[in-house]
């Protein structure tokens, strides 16, 4: 995938700032991942000193990825990760602003984006949101080079907090940039703006008359 820009983790502030909405990148380095709402609540508990966070999330690349980690019974304490794939990030909207700000996260990601509060938090800390391919498990899992740590093993596998070393993870699409601009907000606004014209075109198609304006497929901004 040499056609995509490769970024080394931890990502520098400058590199994050240089990424534009819609850019596609691959990542090399260390990432942290979980797909659990209870895990996010537990991270917030750690921020408030109720528990000690087992990993260092400062400036980290923290992604909403579900993975299957498994105890390697032949080697004490070693886990392997059989596969991983993104989950819907908007499920974590209510806790992500605090997590982004507290740890000054440089990269977050998953699929489906985050809301405007999270985008604002990313803008404040100079972090970006990266969109993973849903249903990309074979491609994404192939980038795992080493399982660095599997924390919170008392949780079910996809809730655990997993630290992985990856190479060529992606391609990932920049969905929210380091200034807090969001492709998701733009697309939602675009759809809302287009709605009236789309309804008109539906009405014209229903009555069998050719659409007075462009057909829905041809509508551009």
Partner 1 sequence: MPITDSQISELAQDLYSWALRKVPDDTKAALQSARDSETSETARKTLNMMLASARAAEEGNRFVCSDSGVPVYFVRIGTKARWDADIKGAIRAGFTELVETIDPPILKHVTNPLTLERGYFGKDMPIVTFDLVSGADYIEIVCSPKALGSGRWAAMELFTLPTMETIEAYILDVAIKAGSQHCPPVVMGVGIGGTFDYCTKMAKEATLRPIGSVNDDPTLAALEKRLADAVNATGFGPMGTGGDTTVLAVHANYAAGHAFTPVAVCFNCWINRRTRARIYSDGTVERIE
* Chain contacts with partner 1 (rule: CB under 8 A): 22, 24, 66-68, 70, 82-85, 87-88, 90, 111-113, 131, 133-139, 141-142, 156-158, 171, 173, 175, 183-184, 187-188, 190-192, 194-195, 197-199, 201-203, 205-206, 215-217, 219
How many residues are listed for the chain in this entry?
221
Closer residue to partner 1 in complex, CB, 109/127: 109
Q: How far is the CB of 151 from partner 1 (least distance, A)?
A: 18
The Cα 60–Cα 16 span in angstroms is 12
Closer residue to partner 1 in complex, CB, 131/178: 131
Name the pairing type of β-strands 24-34 and 5-8: parallel
Burial class (CB in 10 A: 0-12, 13-18, 19+), 122: buried
Closer residue to partner 1 in complex, CB, 26/30: 26
What's the start-to-end Cα distance of the chain, in Å?
A: 32
For residue 47, what are its two tokens?
A: 């921020």
Closer residue to partner 1 in complex, CB, 51/80: 80
The Cα 66–Cα 184 span in angstroms is 22
Q: How far is the CB of 188 from partner 1 (least distance, A)?
A: 6
Q: How far is the CB of 24 from partner 1 (least distance, A)?
A: 6
Q: How far is the CB of 161 from partner 1 (least distance, A)?
A: 15
Question: Rounded to an integer, what is the distance from CA 118 to the centroid of its chain?
Answer: 12
């Amino acid at each position: 995938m040499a056609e995509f820009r490769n970024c080394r983790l931890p990502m520098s502030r400058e590199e994050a700032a240089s990424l534009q909405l819609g850019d596609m990148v691959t990542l090399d380095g260390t990432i942290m991942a979980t797909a659990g709402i209870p895990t996010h609540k537990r991270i917030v508990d750690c921020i408030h000193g109720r528990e000690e966070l087992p990993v260092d999330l400062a400036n980290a690349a923290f992604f909403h990825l579900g993975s299957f980690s498994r105890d390697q019974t032949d080697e004490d304490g070693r886990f392997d990760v059989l596969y991983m794939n993104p989950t819907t990030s908007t499920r974590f909207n209510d806790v992500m602003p605090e997590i982004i700000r507290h740890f000054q996260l440089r990269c977050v990601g998953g699929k489906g984006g985050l809301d405007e509060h999270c985008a604002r938090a990313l803008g404040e800390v100079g972090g970006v949101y990266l969109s993973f391919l849903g249903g990309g498990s074979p491609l994404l899992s192939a980038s795992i080079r080493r399982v660095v740590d599997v924390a919170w093993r008392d949780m079910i596998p996809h809730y655990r907090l997993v630290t992985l070393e990856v190479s060529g993870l992606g391609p990932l699409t920049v969905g929210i940039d380091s200034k807090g601009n969001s492709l998701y907000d733009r697309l939602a606004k675009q759809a809302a703006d287009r709605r009236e014209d789309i309804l008109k075109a539906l009405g014209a198609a229903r009555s069998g008359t050719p659409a007075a304006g462009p057909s829905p497929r041809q509508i551009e901004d």
